Amino acid sequence: MAMISAHRGGAGHLRSSENTVEAFEAAIALGCDYVELDVRLTADGTALVAHRDEVVVDSDRYSLSAHRLDELSGSPVVTLDAVLALVRGRIKAHIDLKVRGRETEVVAQVVGVLGVDAVVITTAEDAAVREIITWSREHAPGLLVGLSSSPRSSHGRWDRRLALLQAAFPRTRVRRSRANVVVSHKTLARLTLRRYARRRGLPLLVWTVDRPDELARWMNDRHTWMVTTNHPARAITARRP
C-alpha cells in the first residue's frame, strides 16, 4: 500500500490555496504521510514556497524578516523557514526544487531542520540530483533524492530541444543522475519506469494521480512507494484494507 504525498498541500481544485499554510495544515489533519511543496529562491537568495516563478521577486515585498506563521499565512507566498517550522515533527516533507544553482544550500537547510529520515528531495534537474547525492554521502547519508521524469528546465530553443530529447529516455536520465528514488509521471510509470524501479530495487514515486480509478490502482500497487496527489482524501479512500 503506497504512501501519500499531498501535492502542494493537497488543495484539490483550489489553486489559490496551493502551497499555503492552510493547505499544509489540512494535509496534516488528514493524516497524509508527506506534504509536497515547491521551493524557489528570490533574487536575494531567500527560499520561498511557491510553484509559479512570477511570484519569486525581492523578498522585501513579503516582509520576511520576522518569519512568523501568523504574519505569513495571509501572504501570497510563505518562506521555507516558516513551512519547515510548521511541519517539523508532524509530517514528512517532499521538497520539489524549482531552482537551478544553490540546491545543496536549500537541501542543507531542510535536512538541518527536519532530519534525513523526514525528507525526500525531487527535482527535474539532472545535474542537481548528482550534486545533491554527492553532498549527501558526506553530510546526510541515506537522504532520498529523486529525478523527476518531467523535462528539465530550459533556456533558449536548443536547450528546450535537448530537454525534450532527454525526457524521451527517462531510464537513462535516472541512471546517469544516480538518483535513489524513481520519480515518474503516471503514464511513464505504466510504460517503463515501474519495471525499471522494481528491477533496480528503487522506491517508485508516481505523480500526479487524482482520478479515483487511477488512485485505486497506484495506491494499492505493491511496487509503488508513494503517490503524489492533489486530492489526498480520495487517496485515503482508495486504499484497500
What's the pLDDT tens digit per position in 165-189? Answer: 445 568 989 999 999 999 999 999 9
Confidence of residue 65 (pLDDT cuts 50, 70, 90): very low
Confidence of residue 149 (pLDDT cuts 50, 70, 90): confident
CA distance to 43, 96, 97, 150, per residue, from 209 (Å): 33, 16, 20, 15
Which of 141, 131, 241, 216 shows the shortest CA–CA distance to 178?
131
The parent domain of residue 45 ranges over 3-238
Look at residue 214 in the predicted model and tell me its pLDDT. 98
Look at residue 182 in the predicted model and tell me its pLDDT. 97
pTM here is 0.86
Mean pLDDT across 44-72: 55
CATH number at residue 113: 3.20.20.190
pLDDT at position 67 over 50: no
Mean pLDDT across 211-230: 98
How many domains would you assign to the chain?
1
Look at residue 155 in the predicted model and tell me its pLDDT. 43
Look at residue 151 in the predicted model and tell me its pLDDT. 59
Look at residue 144 in the predicted model and tell me its pLDDT. 98
pLDDT at position 64 over 60: no
Look at residue 178 in the predicted model and tell me its pLDDT. 97
d(CA 69, CA 86): 8
What's the pLDDT tens digit per position in 77-102? Answer: 799 999 999 999 999 999 999 988 89
d(CA 24, CA 92): 11
pLDDT at position 160 over 50: no
Return the residue matching grid coordinates 505523480: 207
Look at residue 62 in the predicted model and tell me its pLDDT. 44
How far does CA 195 lie from the centroid of its chain? 22
Percent of the chain exceeding pLDDT 70 equals 81
Please give the biggest Cα pair distance in the chain: 50
What's the pLDDT tens digit per position in 101-142? Answer: 899 999 999 999 999 999 999 999 999 999 999 999 999 999
What does pLDDT average to over the chain?
Answer: 86
Look at residue 45 in the predicted model and tell me its pLDDT. 87
Percent of the chain exceeding pLDDT 90 equals 71
What's the pLDDT tens digit per position in 15-49? Answer: 888 999 999 999 999 999 999 999 999 888 899 99
d(CA 58, CA 108): 22
Look at residue 210 in the predicted model and tell me its pLDDT. 98
Of 35-49, 57-71, 120-134, 205-219, give the lowest mean pLDDT range: 57-71
